[in-house]
Structure 1
Amino acid sequence: MKVSGYSGIVGRPGGTLASAAVLAALTALCACTVQPPAGTDGKGNSPVHIELPHSRTPGGTGGPAPGGASGRTSGSAAAPTPSAVETVPPHIVYTRGDTGTGVRELQARLRQVAWLSDGPTGTYDDLTAEAVKGFQGKRGLPRTGETDAVTWRRLRAMTHTPGKWDLYLMGGQPAAAPDPRCLTGRVLCISKTSRTLRWMVDGRTVSTMSVRFGAQYTPTREGVFHVYWKSRHHVSTLYHSPMPYAMFFSGGQAVHYSYDFAARGYAGGSHGCVNVRDEAAVSALFTEVRNGDKVVVYW
């Protein structure tokens, strides 16, 4: 019996009986390479599909993943239950203890929607946190007192971008350069541009504080004056309003502490006086200033 390759197996005269055995072996070999039915894992089992949380569309329903992928995979792990998918908290933009111009903008916007009466100060304090809580609660958001991304977006959508004066309503505005007339002697150097008062002695700034001026029909006079009378517990005889720590420099106009300025900031105005909102600062100033000291009011 002689077999040479496959030459004597099929379709050739003179083939031997071995051709039947070889043919059977080839049939068995071909049977081992038959592909499993589509949709199985190669063992006849259907694959398990797992829905990935990140493959959901923005609308919250399942859908194709980016790039055209189905968002599904196969394997032996069980599909996660909804409770197993973690909820990522919103990103915190500002919180207690933060400082800077961003916090000042937050406070200015909270003032626009009447949730904050003080500030802007540029410091995220307890008053700011309480204002944020109130804003959040009114709109059905978690009352955390922290300004997260959701709260920040909602507040920005309801308010306009604050301007320079909005950002520095209650102090913090950098003082303008002193007028040349302020550089000698003892001077209350008052700038209408920056709305600040410098207390200066021989060209040196001793203290600085925020001030406001007269309203449209009762403007604060500009020029060079001198303090001619001090009255610690003064009450206006014309308007019957308190004027503590009053330092008169031109007729009935004086530098003095203002309860209204402390409460409402630049939302109001005086009857011509220079209002100070920081009581501790004006109290110290009242102690230092003497009758005869110069007062310079300028733009």
Structure 2
Amino acid sequence: MGKPVSGGAVVSALAVLTALAVGGCTVQPAGTDDAGARSPVRIQVSHPPSDDKPGATATPAPAPKKATPAPSPPPPVLWSRGDSGRDVRELQARLRQVAWLYDGPTGSYDDLTETAVKGFQGKRGLPRTGKTDTVTWQRLLRMTREPGQWELFLMGGQPAAYPDPRCLTGRVLCISKTSRTLRWMIDGRTVSTVAVRFGSQYTPTREGVFSVYWKSRHHVSTLYDSPMPYAMFFSGGQAVHYSSDFAARGYGGASHGCVNVRDETAIAAIFAEVSNGDKVVVHW
């Protein structure tokens, strides 16, 4: 028979069991080391297999790259430097309306027009190409109005009016106030046409049938002390002549009654052909 268990041992055992129960743990079997003391149980934790090296962290897979959209093709170009015609004249007239062009309209897409288009484009965040493409043109159309005949031919170049019947015979300087043009005509055939400017409301150019009575190549006005090259006098002090002011300012100014011509080369050629006694017709 074994030795009887003392009351103290029973009490100690009960105290241990009570403490374990209160801590929420259960008694686990324990091994015994060489000294006979109980050793804690080692629990083996299994991990899912991994191809990574020990201690390495997994690298997330890269996100797929978004496809870059193809660039949009540039808008079609309507007009660019070197072009000419009525459409270019309208472009220039509209650029004048928004104060990007101060010369013209001339009908020729020159360096001044190209610079004006670049400025207009840059102000509105468009590519500064200097070429009028469809996007630039539509933006300009929304900001301007349809130019009238006066605006389109502010610097001349307007199609000449049909000749007055009095211009159809002989050698005639046929001058129209309606179209602001001068036709040099011989027997009903137009030899050349130039843009002209007339007198103001207070110094109007006379209308009617006259004749050239005096030509003065290097004339200077004694009344206004202003040059009047290639002057061909037809009525008192009124003459057809070249005007540098007309060439510079267009129809922003006026003469003192003379018929001003802005194309110096053209008026020089007409001056060389016209003779004293040739007819001059000023009409509407």
TM-score by length of 1: 0.68
- The structure 2 residue matched to 1:124, chosen from 109, 112, 117, is 109
Question: Identity rate of aligned residues, in percent?
Answer: 78
Q: List structure 1 segments (4+ residues) > 6 angstroms apart after TM superposition.
A: none
Task: Specify the alignment match of 1:79 in structure 2.
Answer: 66
The Cα shift of 1:226 comes to 1.1
Task: Specify the alignment match of 1:188 in structure 2.
Answer: 173
Task: Specify the alignment match of 2:56 in structure 1.
Answer: none
Residue 101 of structure 1 aligns with an amino acid whose one-letter code is R
Q: Taking structure 1 as reference, are residues 240 and 112 closer, same or farther at Cα in structure 2, changes over 3 Å only?
A: farther
Residue 94 of structure 1 aligns with an amino acid whose one-letter code is W
Equivalent pair of 1:215/1:269 in contact (CA under 8 Å): yes
Residue 282 of structure 2 aligns with an amino acid whose one-letter code is V
Aligned-partner Cα distance in 1 for 2:244–2:102: 13
Aligned-partner Cα distance in 1 for 2:175–2:244: 20
1:146 aligns with 2:134: no
| Equivalent residues, number | 222
Aligned-partner Cα distance in 2 for 1:172–1:182: 20
1:251 aligns with 2:236: yes
1:260 aligns with 2:260: no
Task: Specify the alignment match of 2:255 in structure 1.
Answer: 270
Any idea what the Cα deviations from partners look like across 1:106-164, whole Å, max 9, x if unmatched? 01112223333433233323332122123334444332111123322332233221011
Aligned-partner Cα distance in 2 for 1:192–1:202: 21
Q: Taking structure 1 as reference, are residues 263 and 135 closer, same or farther at Cα in structure 2, changes over 3 Å only?
A: farther
The Cα shift of 1:78 comes to 4.9
Residues 27-176 of structure 1: matches in 2 within 5 Å?
78-81=65-68, 84-176=69-161
Aligned-partner Cα distance in 2 for 1:116–1:249: 37
Q: Taking structure 1 as reference, are residues 256 and 114 closer, same or farther at Cα in structure 2, changes over 3 Å only?
A: farther
The Cα shift of 1:272 comes to 0.9
Task: Specify the alignment match of 2:29 in structure 1.
Answer: none
The Cα shift of 1:289 comes to 1.1
The Cα shift of 1:97 comes to 3.2
Rg bigger for which structure?
2
User: Secondary structure of 1:128's partner?
Assistant: helix
Name stretches of at least 5 consecutive residues in structure 1 with no aligned partner: 1-76
User: Secondary structure of 1:130's partner?
Assistant: helix
Aligned-partner Cα distance in 2 for 1:165–1:93: 24
TM-score by length of 2: 0.71
User: Secondary structure of 2:114's partner?
Assistant: helix
Name stretches of at least 5 consecutive residues in structure 2 with no aligned partner: 1-63
Residues 19-34 of structure 1: matches in 2 within 5 Å?
none
The Cα shift of 1:94 comes to 2.0
